[in-house]
Structure 1
């Protein structure tokens, strides 16, 4: 027999068939009724010869702070267990199974879970989650076209106030002012008179989110509206709505870095996670190879 080295990699296991999954998730399938029952561990539910015992669900109530919540969770668990056992019973009546093949798949799945848990624990322990601004900037510049917008976003000041208030002229003056000192006056106005407002003018937000529950939701040409108006004013029967549009980006345009920086941070961290997992697999394999810890026969 020849000994052969190879560059192996871990493969993700395909999802098991319906019966394999049911068997795995129903750990009590092979627990059979006996003549003598433990009074401290009574049967909670049974389907045929399969039993669900109190100790099997005891962890649910212990982990829950609220008795009401735990009771509901226990009931759901029991109902789910019964349904799975009924399906397994019907499957065994109507189909023939290769028990050895099912057991092999269960064993493979068990080993895959063990490997996955070990990999996850090692990777998460060593993962650097701090992303520097220059990393975000570099990734953004190299991949900005991948972030094309699927919605309109804006920087805006929004104020909703009662239609009958006489201070609307004052509000329009403040919204149209570009003087730095009047920003605070505008905020004070919103606090005093507005029924609702959004004054985070440095924050990009979805236009649909900011106009929700206003008459602007009925406007069929939002693009033209934004292109033609910096101060948008609409009324309904009770309220007046003012939107001072400071900046906007349309669908399919590239968003500003500020709008996607959190998403980019997550992408960068996830790339690190993948790289750490790949390195872990290579290191384990190379260590075993150097120490002759495995043999492949032909």
Structure 2
């Protein structure tokens, strides 16, 4: 019989708080302990693992490794399941010696979880089948205008261009004239150059970026007063012992101010879609309740 390794048990101890939080979902195992003690597993054949008087049988592994899974992956998944079962049983049996369980309460929680899971799965099916994920720019703009106070910047952001180049990159002196140019041919040349030599770059100056993320790992990150810097600087070059950094700032917004619409557009799309999900879930509940009411499918006894 395979033993639980010290390394594995150490990993379990680190996650013991999470496991304790899931104890309410283990009621079926707790109930199974009682059934097993009454001999209800006697016809299951030879066990494959044991914890005191509790046994794990081959048929308990049904569906653990789906068809088509490689022999190695299947064996690994089964082995992991067995170890998890052993850990779970050890914790349950330890708990049974330390505190008194209300078995009726545990069974009630198991049933409540089961029914909640069934309802959630159907609700997800209903919502996903009917959900419209298309969000127009007009809807985004309207939501932004109606909830503009919710879009306060938490960080400084910029629109501009940024390039990080190795010091040995060729023709590095020409980069300044290219990054500050507005001519399409210069920008095409700069893009081609960055594709070949840059370690990091952003050339689309219509995109809003978090300033701290742009300048991280560069000497610019050590700027003592970033707000003052943004207010005064439109172009900067700096270097360290390995790289040369170029920054051109087209526009900036300071934290605690209203975020530009473009910066939060995708967040708003997600918010709108999530609101539709909530509305569909509520619609389902109302439909089911209304239909049951009309068909006299339930009663409440006083």
Matching residue of 1:222: 226
Matching residue of 2:147: 143
Q: CA 1:191/1:93 → structure 2, altered by over 3 Å: closer, same or farther?
A: closer
Q: CA 1:175/1:17 → structure 2, altered by over 3 Å: closer, same or farther?
A: closer
For 2:56 and 2:21, locate their aligned partners in 1 and report how far apart those are by CA, in whole Å: 23
For 2:203 and 2:70, locate their aligned partners in 1 and report how far apart those are by CA, in whole Å: 40
The alpha-carbon deviation at position 206 of structure 1 amounts to 1.9
For 2:31 and 2:184, locate their aligned partners in 1 and report how far apart those are by CA, in whole Å: 67
Matching residue of 2:87: 83
The alpha-carbon deviation at position 26 of structure 1 amounts to 7.1
Secondary structure at the aligned position of 2:246 is classed as strand
The alpha-carbon deviation at position 226 of structure 1 amounts to 1.6
Unaligned runs of 5+ in 1: 1-15
The alpha-carbon deviation at position 127 of structure 1 amounts to 1.3
The alpha-carbon deviation at position 47 of structure 1 amounts to 1.0
Could you tell me whether the CA contact under 8 Å between 2:44 and 2:59 is conserved in 1? no
Alignment pair present for 1:285 and 2:289: yes
For 2:29 and 2:214, locate their aligned partners in 1 and report how far apart those are by CA, in whole Å: 45
Secondary structure at the aligned position of 2:64 is classed as helix
Which range moves more in the overlay, 100-109 or 275-284?
100-109
The alpha-carbon deviation at position 67 of structure 1 amounts to 4.7
Matching residue of 1:242: 246
Secondary structure at the aligned position of 1:243 is classed as strand
Structure showing the higher helix proportion among its residues: 2
TM-score, scaled to structure 2: 0.81
Alignment pair present for 1:52 and 2:63: no
For 1:204 and 1:117, locate their aligned partners in 2 and report how far apart those are by CA, in whole Å: 38
Matching residue of 1:133: 137
The alpha-carbon deviation at position 82 of structure 1 amounts to 1.1
For 1:105 and 1:164, locate their aligned partners in 2 and report how far apart those are by CA, in whole Å: 66
Secondary structure at the aligned position of 1:294 is classed as coil
Provide runs of 4+ in structure 1 moved above 6 Å: none
For 2:298 and 2:42, locate their aligned partners in 1 and report how far apart those are by CA, in whole Å: 48
TM-score, scaled to structure 1: 0.82
For 2:111 and 2:190, locate their aligned partners in 1 and report how far apart those are by CA, in whole Å: 67
Which range moves more in the overlay, 219-228 or 59-68?
59-68
Of structures 1 and 2, the one with the larger relative CO (CA 8 A, separation 6+) is: 1
Matching residue of 2:105: 101
Secondary structure at the aligned position of 1:223 is classed as helix
Q: 1:178 aligns with which of 182, 190, 195?
A: 182
For 1:122 and 1:195, locate their aligned partners in 2 and report how far apart those are by CA, in whole Å: 47
Matching residue of 2:194: 190
For 2:76 and 2:21, locate their aligned partners in 1 and report how far apart those are by CA, in whole Å: 30
Q: CA 1:62/1:295 → structure 2, altered by over 3 Å: closer, same or farther?
A: closer
Q: CA 1:175/1:292 → structure 2, altered by over 3 Å: closer, same or farther?
A: same
The alpha-carbon deviation at position 279 of structure 1 amounts to 1.2
Unaligned runs of 5+ in 2: 1-19
Q: 2:126 aligns with which of 116, 122, 134?
A: 122
What CA deviation, in whole Å up to 9, does each residue of 1:80-99 have, x standing for no partner?
21111112112222322232
